[in-house]
Amino acid sequence: MNQNQMNQFKGRIHNIQIDDLITKENSKCKPLSVSIAVDEDRRLILGLEVSQIPAFGLLAKNAVKKYGLRKDEHFEGLTRLFQKISPLVSSEVLVKSDEHQRYPGFVSAYLPRALHKTFPSERGCIVGQGELKKVNFDPLFIINHTCALLRANINRLIRKTWCTTKDPARLKDHLDIFMYFHNQNLLKKALTPF
């Protein structure tokens, strides 16, 4: 969906969900974060931003040893995402997210009248299916389903694959193409009577 098509929803989006999908650049020691915002009512992807993050967990020590200190650009990625979505959403939007420590600051800075609800993250029901949750009701189902769609349809996002991202800018281009295709299909279905 291009900018003109997005403008038709300006101020009419009342419920959004935000989350981050973690992927890699060449190696698990070089992680990337894909920050995503989705319209909960229409399932439209409002924005996607790719940012470099440092390795974490068990790989952190090996990553620093092999590649050196890695700059954390997640703050800049979230800034770009919120700058992109803030004109589209209504002033009193309901924002749902997991309990990521950076989200409350961005919501209050870019959407000051918004209501921000956070939900604890749930573990995936099967190893390798982190987006599919083993709960009766998942309040973040729309964003988790969108992340699962991204992983299923963009081979470089699949966790165990030989296909990896060599350049984060090309991943961003690939995600923009998917977002356009995904949103166009949803709009066509909404306009088709049956």
Say yes or no to pLDDT of 134 above 70. no
pTM (2 d.p.): 0.87
**What pLDDT was estimated at residue 189?**
75
Which two three-digit tokens encode residue 74? 């997640």
Q: What is the pLDDT of residues 152-182, one digit of tens each?
A: 999 888 877 778 888 999 999 999 999 999 9
Candidates 26, 29, 31; CA nearest to 60 is 29
Structure tokens belonging to residue 7: 């403008």
Buried b (16+ CB within 10 A) or exposed e, 139-169: bbebbbbbbbbbbeebebbbeeeeebbeebe
The answer to whether the beta carbons of residues 54 and 77 sit under 8 Å apart is no
pLDDT of residue 126 exceeding 70, the answer is no
Per-residue pLDDT, 129: 54
Instruction: Compare 157 and 190 and report the one with higher pLDDT.
Output: 157
